[in-house]
Amino acid sequence: MQTNKSCIILAAGDGKRMKSAKPKVLLEVAFAPMLKWVLDAVVKAGIAPEHTAVIIGNEAELLTNWLSKHYPDCKTFLQSERLGTGHAVMQARDFLKSRTQEGGDDVLVLCGDAPFIDSDTIESSYTLHKSKGHSVTVITADLVHPKGYGRILRSESGGSVDSAISTQTIQAIVEEKDCTPKQRLITEVNSGAYWFDTRLLYVMLPKLTTANKSSEYYLTDVVGLANETAGKPVGAFKSENSYITLGANDRRGLRQLNNIAFDIIADKHSDNGVEIIGECYIAKDAVIGSDTTILPNTVIRENVTVGIGCSVGPFAHLRANTVLGDYVKVGDFVEVKNANIGDKSSIAHLSYVGDSDVGTGVNFGCGCVTVNYDGVNKYRTVVEDNAFIGCNTNLIAPVTIGENSMTAAGSTVNKNVPPDSLAIERAELRVKQNWKLNTLRRAKNAMKGQGKKEQ
Ligand code: UD1
Ligand code: CA
């Protein structure tokens, strides 16, 4: 972690348009809060959480609780009135001041509701920012549909340039509402992410005004002010990845972000040699080995590891804290949670395996259930190597099935089974011969026939 970089994440937006009781940045994209995507990228780019400030809004208790659990070293600053992005950054002026004193020369500002910012973009834009000696580097993108975004006014043409990394300086950022019809045609937009010289940002914030169509303090006005006063140029880092600009204003937008996220995640696994067939819903932190096949409608939640050569799905659900070894099969309508499944084990159909430690070469028949919860506590099930769990077995935890042991189909097992044993719990089957079913059926059919004749 480098000490000369800091970050401010704007996250004071509420969930009103989302119709949610949660702050917007805690709404999830691919099973992770949007803020987690952003913070993970920041940390991956080498900026320490203790050098990161998050601007939070009113009723942000959920947000501070989440941060204290997942990123306890982040600083938080309350913006009690939502008066614009510039006003949001003003709440962290003390942070900017102390960071300047500590040698935090440059500060990255990000939107907490734009989850696809990535560490490569953060690092490459920083390299440009430093090598060109910029006072501000705006991370921009060219969009086919720039509607709603702030437009980038270049100093020469006022339009956009083709090169990914431009040497042209930026004159100003104009919000869509404040654009002239000609400016509205510009396709290069402000992603809402920027590197600032920390001292310059600190000095410029008090100069922002609300003289615009929205009567808000625009952070983007720092660009114009920096051009008027500072000696150093304002530049742009134009990203090839237009997804970095995407945020969600409502649930429809959030759904789109989810679709994009699941695609990005699936692409990453495809590139690593995983075969993904059809639609799958994989959390961003899943680790999946090569030659594993993920079949349609599989859901893989956070903190899951799958080994090489496995087959998962269709319609499988790997919940949090699941580890599958190599060459494991988890078939259709199988749910695995908080469990370790050893190499070459198979849970092929319609089973629930939760809170369990399963050895290698274990076979679960169809319809097996680990009975892990008694309404108060959860208990673990242990199944040792090469055990065979017969169809429709209930394993009442805590319980251990020894190595090479077998449970008979339909058994409910509530005692430990030693190795090399058979556990069978089954009432004797009774067969009653000459049962009356056929007599009853004949009588029923005869009645139906009479009814038809009467019509
Ligand atoms: C902002 C930029 C625009 C850019 C766009 C990219 C300004 C003036 N405009 O516009 O140029 O193209 O982002 O998405 O900055 N926030 C607060 N407190 C506030 C206002 C906003 O914390 O008082 C947070 C929001 O929660 C959000 C972020 O700042 O995370 C951006 O705010 P938003 O209102 O979405 O800005 P835009 O109008 O989209
Ligand atoms: Ca926005």
Q: Output the pLDDT for position 272.
A: 98
Over residues 138-153, the mean pLDDT reads: 96
Q: Output the pLDDT for position 157.
A: 43
C-beta 116 within 6 A of ligand 1: no
Are residues 262 and 224 located together in one domain of the fold?
A: no
C-beta 149 within 6 A of ligand 1: yes
Map residue 166 onto helix, strand or coil.
Answer: coil
pLDDT grade, residue 231 (50/70/90)?
confident
Residue 161 has pLDDT above 80, yes or no: no
What CATH number has the domain bearing residue 364? Answer: 2.160.10.10
Residue that terminates a domain, selected from 213, 245, 277: 245
Q: With the CA atoms of 440, 443, 449 and 454 taken in that order, what torsion angle do they form, in degrees rounded to the nearest 10? A: -130
Ligand 1 mutation target, pool 54, 76, 85, most atoms within 8 A of CB = 85
Are residues 189 and 265 located together in one domain of the fold?
A: no
Over residues 194-202, the mean pLDDT reads: 97
- Alpha-carbon radius of gyration of the chain: 30
Over residues 298-313, the mean pLDDT reads: 98
What is the number of the ligand 1 atom nearest to the C-alpha of 86? 15
Measured by CA distance, the residue closest to atom 19 of ligand 1 is 84
CB 53 within 8 Å of CB 95: yes
Nearest ligand to the CA atom of 147 = 1
Over residues 322-326, the mean pLDDT reads: 98
Cα(5) to ligand 2 centroid in Å equals: 24
**C-alpha atoms less than 13 angstroms from C-alpha of 270 in its C-beta half-sphere:** 12
C-beta 15 within 6 A of ligand 1: no
What is the number of the ligand 1 atom nearest to the C-alpha of 247? 14
Q: Output the pLDDT for position 159.
A: 40
Are residues 340 and 300 located together in one domain of the fold?
A: yes
pLDDT grade, residue 168 (50/70/90)?
low
Over residues 308-326, the mean pLDDT reads: 98
Residue of 240, 233, 227, 247 lying closest to 85 (CA atoms)? 247
Percent with pLDDT over 90 in the chain = 87
Per-residue pLDDT of 178-191, as tens digits, reads: 999 999 999 999 99
Are residues 103 and 50 located together in one domain of the fold?
A: yes
C-beta 76 within 6 A of ligand 1: no
Ligand 1 mutation target, pool 37, 77, 111, most atoms within 8 A of CB = 111
Q: Output the pLDDT for position 449.
A: 79
What CATH number has the domain bearing residue 147? Answer: 3.90.550.10
Per-residue pLDDT of 66-106, as tens digits, reads: 999 999 999 999 999 999 999 999 999 999 999 999 998 99
Tell me, yes or no, whether 224 lies in a domain.
yes
Q: How many CB atoms lie within 10 A of CB 357?
A: 15
Residue 164 has pLDDT above 50, yes or no: no
pLDDT grade, residue 169 (50/70/90)?
confident
Residue 339 has pLDDT above 90, yes or no: yes
Phi, psi of 254 (to 5 degrees): -65, -40
Are residues 311 and 192 located together in one domain of the fold?
A: no
Are residues 95 and 183 located together in one domain of the fold?
A: yes
Cα(84) to ligand 1 centroid in Å equals: 7
Per-residue pLDDT of 394-452, as tens digits, reads: 999 999 999 999 999 999 999 999 999 999 998 999 998 887 777 778 888 888 877 66
Tell me, yes or no, whether 144 lies in a domain.
yes
Q: Output the pLDDT for position 451.
A: 66
Tell me which of 156-170, 275-289, 339-353, 360-374 is least confident. Answer: 156-170
- Helices (H), ranges, 132-238: 181-184, 198-204, 221-229
Are residues 27 and 132 located together in one domain of the fold?
A: yes
Per-residue pLDDT of 40-73, as tens digits, reads: 999 999 999 999 999 999 778 999 999 999 999 9
CB 194 within 8 Å of CB 162: no
Over residues 359-371, the mean pLDDT reads: 98
Tell me, yes or no, whether 429 lies in a domain.
no
Per-residue pLDDT of 9-25, as tens digits, reads: 999 987 788 999 899 99
Are residues 208 and 284 located together in one domain of the fold?
A: no
Are residues 221 and 363 located together in one domain of the fold?
A: no
Are residues 231 and 294 located together in one domain of the fold?
A: no
Are residues 157 and 82 located together in one domain of the fold?
A: yes
Cα(215) to ligand 1 centroid in Å equals: 14
Residue 230 has pLDDT above 80, yes or no: no
Are residues 205 and 316 located together in one domain of the fold?
A: no
Range of the domain at 110: 5-245
Q: Output the pLDDT for position 227.
A: 92
What is the number of the ligand 1 atom nearest to the C-alpha of 88? 18
Q: Output the pLDDT for position 433.
A: 87
Which residues belong to the active site?
A: 349
Tell me, yes or no, whether 440 lies in a domain.
no
What is the number of the ligand 1 atom nearest to the C-alpha of 150? 11
Cα(150) to ligand 1 centroid in Å equals: 10
Cα–Cα dist 134/120, whole Å: 19
Cα(272) to ligand 1 centroid in Å equals: 36
Mean pLDDT of the chain, nearest integer: 94
